[in-house]
Amino acid sequence: MTEIVTSQTPPILNGPSEKERKYDRQLRLWAASGQAALESANILLVNSGAGTVGVEALKNLVLPGIGRFAIYDDALVNEADLGVNFFLDESCLGKSRSQSLTALLLELNPEVQGAWFPNRENVTSLESLLVSSPVFTAAIYTYPVQPEHLSLLKTYGLQHKIPLFGVHSAGFYSYFKIGLPGAFPIVDTHPDETATTDFRLLTPWPELLTFARDLTRDIDNLDHMEHGHLPYAVILLYYLDQWKLAHSGVSPKTYKEKTEFRKIVQSAARTDNAEGGEENFEEAAAAVLKTLVSPSLPSGLKEVFEYKSKFPAEERSGFWIIADAVEKFYAEHQCLPVPGNVPDMKAQSKVYVQLQNIYKAKARQDAAEVLNTVRATEGGQNIDPAEVELFCKNAAFVKLINATGGDSNSTASAGDHLKTVVDQELENDKNAEAMMMPLSLLPIYLALQATSHVSSANADEILAEICKVVPGANQNERIVKAAHEVARAEGGELHNIAALTGGMVAQEMIKIVTKQYVPIDNTCVFDGINSRCQVLRL
């Protein structure tokens, strides 16, 4: 006899894997794609000096699961290391610092691989490491750094087009500077959700108009339930139609017209119901100023387009080919592809889902058009449609870092640029109090930078060094104080400042490796006395 088994239970649902559970709290930030990027990253740390800040940065990268790291550090562990570095203990005294650090860092995450140098085998210098190792995704070096190590790293960075992080932490002060191998575009910038509403109410397409008109055809005779659940985008489209009828086909443009329009919407809400008002009309009125805007080119994308025309010879990665296609789209339609997301709003489920589908369909259609252009471009045949979709969805928030072009690791003309920034910052400081602005942290950078290659210096030596770049710096009280504060540390790190800076460096490394969120451009200075930081382009 055959038995027919019927079951009401849905198919077995697999819970998260062990790895997904371990990384759950970070996957909510950068998703599987970001995690995959991290897991294929290979990070080099060239460690020197007191030696903590780079290790703290590395710790924050090992924990979320970078693929591998290497530490180059020729120091032997001494007593002072144990008072500042958590990844060393008594048993490490006198041993290779890179070896000890690597062992204790690897305990943090069994999925990460690590190597230490110089080792007793083949790799005895940084040069031989850079030659023999698989290519690093990025490198971190800590100050004070040997000049020859720095020049080796810069050459390597240029050759392999990888980002270099220079980090300096001494006493209460620190800074780090990211040298990117060229312009760095980010598509997945994670903008604030409230900023992403883009309804195109002033330039609706036929499907959207038809949908809105169908719902509002008999608006005055809708029952309270239906009237009170018209999506606010639909309400606005209806009253825009009405407005245009009365204003020879022109939408409200000026602030005055928009507030007048808002009043019309507000007064259209019904009050003869249980609530004595209507939430959806309140939502509509509140959205007038934000949503009744003509499409325009956001500054980030404009920068991308301009950069593209300035540096046409730049390597044509997928990003630039798509950017090209989006620019063509914009030229043709005077607007960007529709992003397709619809924020939550008061509406009935069915109507909301329909509205969502109208926006999604339009977004797909626009993305398909961009994809066609991409496909017709040389080198665009193999670009992943998902990449095109993501670009279209985020087009308004695409950002370009290090957009002045070229390699920010190069030292040419760096001195002149620094001088200009110093003049500007010191000038701003004169008015800072009146403007209620915080003072510049550039003096801290100058004082730290003066000890880039020495383990310790007194205030006079530091000031003399600063004066080489900024003549007369010894007359500036804040620079003098910064020099004294740096001298006080004698090149030593405070663990807290090293940990804090290591945290910031790790955040930035994650942003650059995952190409998500927006990294700094390009130097971040931290003042542990006043507990604040400043980002400067140096």
Partner 1 sequence: MLKIWSMKKEQQKAENAEGAAGGKKKKVTAAQLRVQKDLSELSLGTTMTTEFPDPDDILSFILYIEPDEGMYYGGRFSFTFNITPNFPHEPPKVQCREKIYHPNIDLEGKVCLNILREDWKPVLNLNAVIVGLQFLFLEPNASDPLNKEAAEDLRQNREAFKRNVRAAMNGYTVKGEAFDKVMIQ
Partner 2 sequence: MASADVYPASEPARWKYLDNVRTRSGPHTNPDIFDGKLVAEAMENMKVLVIGAGGLGCEILKNLALSGFKNIHVIDMDTIDISNLNRQFLFRQADVGSFKAEVAARFVERRVKGVKITPHNCKIQDFDEDFYMQFQLLVCGLDSIEARRWINATLVNMVDEDAEDSYKPLIDGGTEGFKGQARVIIPTVTSCIECQLDMHAPRAAVPLCTLASIPRQPEHCIEWAHVIAWDKEKPFPSLDKDDPEHITWLYQKALIRAHEFKIPGVTYALTQGVVKNIIPAIAATNSVIAAACCNEALKIAANCAPCLGFPDENNYMMYSGNDSIYTYTFRHEKKDDCPVCGNLARELIVDPDWTLRELVESFAVRPESQLKKPSIRSDHKTLYMQSPASLEAKSRPNLDKTLAELGLSSGDEIGVTDPAFATVSFKYKLKLQK
Regarding 228 and contact with partner 1 (CB under 8 A), the answer is yes
Residue 27 touches which of partner 1, partner 2, none (Cβ within 5-8 Å per kind):
partner 2
Question: 502 and 140 in contact (C-beta within 8 Å)?
Answer: no
* Cα–Cα distance, 226 to 205 (Å, whole number): 24
Residue placing its CB nearer to partner 1 in the complex, 273 or 455: 273
Question: Residue 417: phi, psi to the nearest 5?
Answer: -60, -45
- Of 164, 168, 159, 167, give the one whose Cα is nearest residue 184: 164
Residue 274 touches which of partner 1, partner 2, none (Cβ within 5-8 Å per kind):
partner 1
Binder among 1, 4, 5, 225 for partner 1 (CB under 8 A)? 225
Q: Considering only CA atoms, give the Rg of the chain.
A: 29
Regarding 194 and contact with partner 1 (CB under 8 A), the answer is no
Question: 77 and 97 in contact (C-beta within 8 Å)?
Answer: yes
Give the list of residues 6+ apart from residue 253 with CB closer than 8 angstroms, or none.
Answer: none
Residue placing its CB nearer to partner 1 in the complex, 304 or 345: 345
* Cα–Cα distance, 203 to 287 (Å, whole number): 16
Residue placing its CB nearer to partner 2 in the complex, 181 or 502: 502
Residue 328 touches which of partner 1, partner 2, none (Cβ within 5-8 Å per kind):
none
Residue placing its CB nearer to partner 2 in the complex, 56 or 366: 56
* Cα–Cα distance, 113 to 30 (Å, whole number): 22
Residue placing its CB nearer to partner 2 in the complex, 16 or 405: 16
Look up tokens 């970070």; give the residue. 26
Regarding 229 and contact with partner 1 (CB under 8 A), the answer is yes
Residue 275 touches which of partner 1, partner 2, none (Cβ within 5-8 Å per kind):
partner 1
Residue placing its CB nearer to partner 2 in the complex, 473 or 504: 504
Residue placing its CB nearer to partner 2 in the complex, 314 or 490: 490
Peptide bond into 181 cis (omega under 30): no
Look up tokens 């499907």; give the residue. 207
Q: Both tokens of residue 308?
A: 């593209």
- Which alpha helices (H) appear in 292-402, and where do they start and end? 299-310, 318-333, 349-376, 385-394
- Own/partner pairs, 459-468, CB within 8 angstroms, 24+ separation: 459/483, 459/484, 459/486, 459/487, 462/486, 462/487
Question: 86 and 181 in contact (C-beta within 8 Å)?
Answer: no
Question: 414 and 192 in contact (C-beta within 8 Å)?
Answer: no
Residue 223 touches which of partner 2, partner 1, none (Cβ within 5-8 Å per kind):
partner 1
Give the list of residues 6+ apart from residue 146 with CB closer than 8 angstroms, or none.
Answer: 48, 453
* Sites for partner 1 among residues 264-283 (CB under 8 A): 273-275
Give the list of residues 6+ apart from residue 344 with CB closer than 8 angstroms, or none.
Answer: none
Residue 524 touches which of partner 2, partner 1, none (Cβ within 5-8 Å per kind):
partner 2
* Sites for partner 1 among residues 55-94 (CB under 8 A): none
Regarding 245 and contact with partner 1 (CB under 8 A), the answer is no
* Cα–Cα distance, 413 to 421 (Å, whole number): 13
Peptide bond into 191 cis (omega under 30): no
Binder among 223, 272, 344, 378 for partner 1 (CB under 8 A)? 223
Please list the residues that pair with 59 across neighbouring strands. Answer: none
Residue placing its CB nearer to partner 2 in the complex, 376 or 437: 437
Shortest Cβ 348–partner 1 spacing (Å): 10
Size of the site for partner 1 (CB under 8 A): 8
Shortest Cβ 126–partner 2 spacing (Å): 25
Residue 282 touches which of partner 1, partner 2, none (Cβ within 5-8 Å per kind):
none
Residue 79 touches which of partner 2, partner 1, none (Cβ within 5-8 Å per kind):
partner 2
Residue 230 touches which of partner 1, partner 2, none (Cβ within 5-8 Å per kind):
none
Give the interface segment with partner 1, choosing from 187-195, 223-231, 297-305, 326-334 (CB under 8 A): 223-231
Shortest Cβ 351–partner 2 spacing (Å): 9
Residues that bind partner 1 (CB under 8 A): 223-225, 228-229, 273-275
